[in-house]
């Protein structure tokens, strides 16, 4: 059974997130958050922060609240406009800002939103800094002398800078000329960036999900809903499809036959190519959700594989501890630390595309050595009760573990971003795995009354 992360009051596994207009995602709270973070950053010597956002309608409101809070704390703000999360991480580093802020709820629907931070090196904030911000949130907003308030300006060439950075991740020798690529930007933060990256590298791009209206982000599109992209690949006879999520840090792909390839498959392709080129360093790091078939295939190729807790920050921490560069999650959040400081959907897709170009193989051929086990995940709504210690739930878990006899895995964990309990079971027989997952899910539902 998976380990439960004891979260702080506001910061979860990926910043602060919630439904728009409800605590903590109210304008008043976000104003206080900007002020609290600004005071913490100011004490660390910060003078400037960058703010980027995705395409949700509520981002305008939160952007205004954040910049007001930062300015009240005496911190200068530079606005990026719509920008993928990894783009904010990169620009924070390249502009030598002391922090970057992203207003986004990633793959969630438009009615959710959130705030996440990056340190000056483009990585997630240390736990100690998040804890310091939380402590400051309880204090009232103070008053600075008018001469010490922060200023706000806009970076007008942010999009072009990030496009060039993405292209640099595959080097000047790689050309996508001759490739027809269907691209789904989830009506999110990559809508004005990803098509340019692929087209400037020579690909013929068939775009979808590039008309954000503030409400359609991630709606029946993007990496969480790739069915429409799969249909587009078949309809337009594309060589493959690329689906990003609303803030651009996740990617899944679709092969020419319309089959969806999750993060485990993409991680396998990237890891084996790094081994081929001699660039692989340390172990490949997955999570508790990574398919057992991925672990077996990588170990069979002579590549060490380690599992971190679910969440890209935990994958990052383990990679840094063990000297690795390649890791990720089955959701499509992939880390290539030899190319970028954080998970980047565009750059991860480019790594796979560059392997195709370098080897002359299509996705099906590149995956010939990987056989994933059937894996079923059921999300059970959580009403606040601690079901992880419920006796009936524990018995259901034990029964499934005994039935699998070491030929599969079972994991029960609370989501770090939504009020859900995630039930995951994998094993050699899909029908049995589904039945086992349903048994545990039913025990979880019953434990909540």
Contact 130/79 with Cβ under 8 angstroms?
Answer: no
Report d(CA 435, CA 382) in Å as an integer: 21
Q: How far is 243 from 225, CA to CA, in rounded Å? A: 9
- 70 and 38 Cβ atoms separated by less than 8 Å: yes
Task: Please identify which of the residues 58, 106, 223, 331 carries the catalytic annotation.
Answer: 106
Decide: 307 and 288 in contact? Cβ < 8 Å.
Answer: yes
- What is the per-residue burial (b if ≥16 Cβ within 10 Å, else e) of 20-46? beeebbbbebbbbbbbbbbbbbbeeeb
Helices 158-168, 85-94: crossing angle, 10 deg rounding: 100
Spatial distance between the Cα atoms of 68 and 32, rounded to a whole number of angstroms? 9
Q: Please tell me the distance from the alpha carbon of residue 223 to that of residue 244, in angstroms, as a whole number.
A: 5
Give the number of other Cβ atoms within 10 Å of residue 169's Cβ. Answer: 19
Helix (H) or strand (E) holding 335: strand 334-336
CA distance 17 to 5: 16
End-to-end CA distance of the chain: 22
Q: Is 106 a catalytic residue?
A: yes
Is there a contact between 3 and 309 (Cβ–Cβ < 8 Å)? yes
Positions annotated as catalytic residues are: 106
């Amino acid at each position: 059974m998976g380990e439960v992360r004891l979260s702080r009051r506001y910061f979860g596994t990926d910043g602060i997130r919630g439904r728009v207009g409800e605590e903590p995602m109210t304008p008043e709270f976000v104003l206080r958050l900007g002020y609290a973070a600004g005071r913490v950053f100011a004490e660390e010597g910060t003078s400037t922060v960058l703010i980027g956002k995705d395409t949700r309608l509520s981002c305008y409101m939160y952007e205004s609240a954040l910049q007001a809070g930062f300015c009240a704390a005496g911190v200068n703000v530079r606005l990026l406009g719509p920008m993928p999360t990894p783009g904010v991480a990169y620009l924070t580093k390249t502009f030598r800002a002391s922090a970057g802020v992203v207003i986004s709820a990633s793959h969630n629907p438009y009615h959710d939103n959130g705030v996440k931070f990056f340190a000056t090196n483009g990585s997630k904030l240390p736990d100690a800094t998040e804890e310091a911000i939380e402590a400051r949130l309880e204090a009232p907003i103070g008053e600075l002398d008018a001469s010490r308030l922060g200023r706000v300006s806009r970076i007008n060439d942010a999009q072009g800078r990030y496009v060039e950075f993405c292209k640099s991740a595959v080097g000047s020798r790689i050309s996508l000329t001759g490739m027809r690529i269907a691209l789904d930007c989830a009506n999110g933060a990559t809508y004005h960036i990803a098509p340019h990256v692929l087209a400037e590298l020579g690909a013929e791009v068939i775009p979808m999900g590039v008309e954000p209206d503030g409400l359609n982000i991630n709606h029946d599109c993007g990496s969480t809903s790739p069915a429409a992209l799969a249909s587009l690949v078949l309809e337009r006879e594309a060589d493959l499809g690329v689906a990003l999520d609303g803030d651009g840090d996740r990617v899944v792909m679709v092969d020419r036959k319309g089959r969806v390839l999750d993060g485990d498959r993409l991680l396998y392709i990237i890891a084996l190519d790094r081994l081929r080129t001699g660039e692989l360093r340390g172990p490949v790091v997955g999570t508790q959700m990574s398919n057992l078939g991925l672990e077996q295939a990588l170990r069979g190729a002579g590549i060490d594989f380690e599992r971190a807790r679910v969440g890209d920050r935990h994958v990052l921490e383990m990679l840094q501890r063990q000297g690795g560069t390649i890791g990720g999650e089955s959701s499509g959040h992939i880390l290539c630390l030899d190319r970028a400081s954080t998970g980047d959907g565009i750059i991860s897709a480019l790594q796979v595309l560059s392997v195709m170009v370098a080897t002359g193989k299509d996705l099906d051929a590149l995956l010939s050595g990987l056989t994933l086990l059937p894996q079923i995940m059921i999300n059970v709504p959580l009403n606040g009760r601690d079901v992880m210690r419920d006796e009936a739930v524990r018995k259901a878990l034990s029964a499934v573990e005994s039935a699998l006899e070491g030929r599969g895995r079972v994991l029960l964990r609370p989501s770090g971003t939504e009020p859900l309990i995630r039930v995951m079971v994998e094993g050699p027989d899909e029908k049995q795995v589904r039945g086992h997952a349903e048994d545990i899910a039913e025990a979880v539902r019953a434990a909540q009354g």
